[in-house]
Protein backbone atom coordinates (compact mmCIF):
# COMPACT_ATOMS: atom_id res chain seq x y z
CA UNK A 1 0.00 0.00 0.00
CA UNK A 2 0.92 3.64 -0.16
CA UNK A 3 3.13 4.77 2.70
CA UNK A 4 4.38 8.13 3.83
CA UNK A 5 7.55 8.15 5.91
CA UNK A 6 7.83 11.04 8.33
CA UNK A 7 10.88 12.18 10.24
CA UNK A 8 11.83 12.83 12.88
CA UNK A 9 9.40 10.83 15.01
CA UNK A 10 9.70 13.31 17.84
CA UNK A 11 11.42 16.61 18.66
CA UNK A 12 11.99 18.34 21.98
CA UNK A 13 13.03 21.95 21.44
CA UNK A 14 13.43 25.21 23.28
CA UNK A 15 10.86 27.95 22.80
CA UNK A 16 12.01 30.33 20.08
CA UNK A 17 13.85 27.70 18.04
CA UNK A 18 12.99 26.85 14.47
CA UNK A 19 11.66 23.38 13.61
CA UNK A 20 11.92 21.35 10.43
CA UNK A 21 10.24 18.05 9.62
CA UNK A 22 9.78 16.13 6.40
CA UNK A 23 7.81 13.44 4.70
CA UNK A 24 8.82 11.13 1.85
CA UNK A 25 7.06 8.58 -0.29
CA UNK A 26 7.97 5.97 -2.88
CA UNK A 27 4.88 7.04 -4.85
CA UNK A 28 4.09 10.29 -6.63
CA UNK A 29 1.31 12.41 -5.18
CA UNK A 30 -0.34 15.48 -6.69
CA UNK A 31 -1.28 17.02 -3.36
CA UNK A 32 0.52 17.21 -0.03
CA UNK A 33 -1.25 18.22 3.17
CA UNK A 34 0.05 19.03 6.64
CA UNK A 35 -2.19 18.49 9.67
CA UNK A 36 -1.72 19.16 13.38
CA UNK A 37 -3.36 17.05 16.06
CA UNK A 38 -3.62 18.13 19.68
CA UNK A 39 -4.60 15.83 22.57
CA UNK A 40 -8.28 14.90 22.51
CA UNK A 41 -8.81 16.43 19.08
CA UNK A 42 -8.93 15.33 15.49
CA UNK A 43 -6.33 16.51 12.94
CA UNK A 44 -6.67 20.11 11.76
CA UNK A 45 -5.45 21.14 8.31
CA UNK A 46 -2.56 23.63 8.45
CA UNK A 47 -1.30 23.89 4.89
CA UNK A 48 -2.26 22.36 1.54
CA UNK A 49 0.17 22.11 -1.40
CA UNK A 50 -1.12 21.45 -4.91
CA UNK A 51 1.81 22.07 -7.25
CA UNK A 52 5.31 20.56 -7.41
CA UNK A 53 7.86 23.09 -6.18
CA UNK A 54 5.19 25.19 -4.46
CA UNK A 55 6.22 26.99 -1.25
CA UNK A 56 3.31 28.08 0.94
CA UNK A 57 3.22 29.91 4.27
CA UNK A 58 0.62 30.13 7.00
CA UNK A 59 1.88 32.52 9.67
CA UNK A 60 5.04 31.02 11.17
CA UNK A 61 4.54 27.81 9.20
CA UNK A 62 6.08 27.22 5.78
CA UNK A 63 5.70 24.06 3.71
CA UNK A 64 7.12 23.01 0.35
CA UNK A 65 5.95 20.45 -2.20
CA UNK A 66 9.01 18.60 -3.47
CA UNK A 67 9.86 18.91 -7.14
CA UNK A 68 9.83 15.10 -7.57
CA UNK A 69 6.30 15.02 -6.05
CA UNK A 70 7.57 12.36 -3.64
CA UNK A 71 8.34 14.56 -0.65
CA UNK A 72 7.39 17.62 1.35
CA UNK A 73 8.74 19.49 4.33
CA UNK A 74 7.21 21.69 7.02
CA UNK A 75 9.09 24.40 8.89
CA UNK A 76 7.94 26.24 11.99
CA UNK A 77 9.80 29.40 12.86
CA UNK A 78 10.24 30.85 16.37
CA UNK A 79 8.34 28.05 18.10
CA UNK A 80 5.99 28.81 20.99
CA UNK A 81 4.46 26.48 23.61
CA UNK A 82 1.14 26.23 21.75
CA UNK A 83 2.97 24.60 18.81
CA UNK A 84 3.02 21.41 20.89
CA UNK A 85 1.22 18.57 19.18
CA UNK A 86 1.63 15.87 16.55
CA UNK A 87 2.19 16.98 12.97
CA UNK A 88 1.10 14.68 10.16
CA UNK A 89 1.71 14.78 6.46
CA UNK A 90 -1.08 13.32 4.34
CA UNK A 91 -1.80 12.78 0.67
CA UNK A 92 -5.17 12.18 -0.98
CA UNK A 93 -5.69 9.26 -3.34
CA UNK A 94 -8.58 7.60 -5.13
CA UNK A 95 -9.15 3.88 -4.84
CA UNK A 96 -11.02 3.61 -8.10
CA UNK A 97 -11.33 5.69 -11.25
CA UNK A 98 -14.35 7.94 -11.02
CA UNK A 99 -14.40 7.92 -7.21
CA UNK A 100 -16.55 10.72 -5.90
CA UNK A 101 -14.13 11.64 -3.14
CA UNK A 102 -10.55 11.26 -2.08
CA UNK A 103 -9.20 9.13 0.74
CA UNK A 104 -6.19 10.23 2.76
CA UNK A 105 -3.00 8.32 3.52
CA UNK A 106 -1.09 9.67 6.51
CA UNK A 107 2.50 9.58 7.70
CA UNK A 108 3.33 8.31 11.16
CA UNK A 109 3.55 11.80 12.63
CA UNK A 110 6.17 14.01 14.26
CA UNK A 111 5.56 14.71 17.94
CA UNK A 112 6.71 18.22 18.83
CA UNK A 113 7.41 19.23 22.41
CA UNK A 114 8.39 22.82 23.25
CA UNK A 115 10.15 23.78 26.46
CA UNK A 116 9.24 27.30 27.65
Binding site for another protein (CB under 8 A): 1, 4, 6, 30-31, 40-45, 48, 50, 88, 90, 92, 94-96, 99-109
Give the separation between CA 97 and CA 108, rounded to whole angstroms: 27
SS3 label, residue 47: strand
DSSP, res 51 = S
Beta carbon of residue 29, minimum distance to another protein (angstroms, whole number): 9
Beta carbon of residue 18, minimum distance to another protein (angstroms, whole number): 24
Identity of the residue, 45 or 113, whose beta carbon is nearer to another protein in the bound complex: 45
Identity of the residue, 77 or 108, whose beta carbon is nearer to another protein in the bound complex: 108
Beta carbon of residue 114, minimum distance to another protein (angstroms, whole number): 19
User: Measuring CA to CA, which residue among 20, 36, 26 is closest to residue 109?
Assistant: 36
Residue 116: how many other CB atoms lie within 10 Å: 7
Amino acid sequence: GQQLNQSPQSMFIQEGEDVSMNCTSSSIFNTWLWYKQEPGEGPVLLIALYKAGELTSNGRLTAQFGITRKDSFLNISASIPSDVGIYFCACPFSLYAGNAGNMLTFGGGTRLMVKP
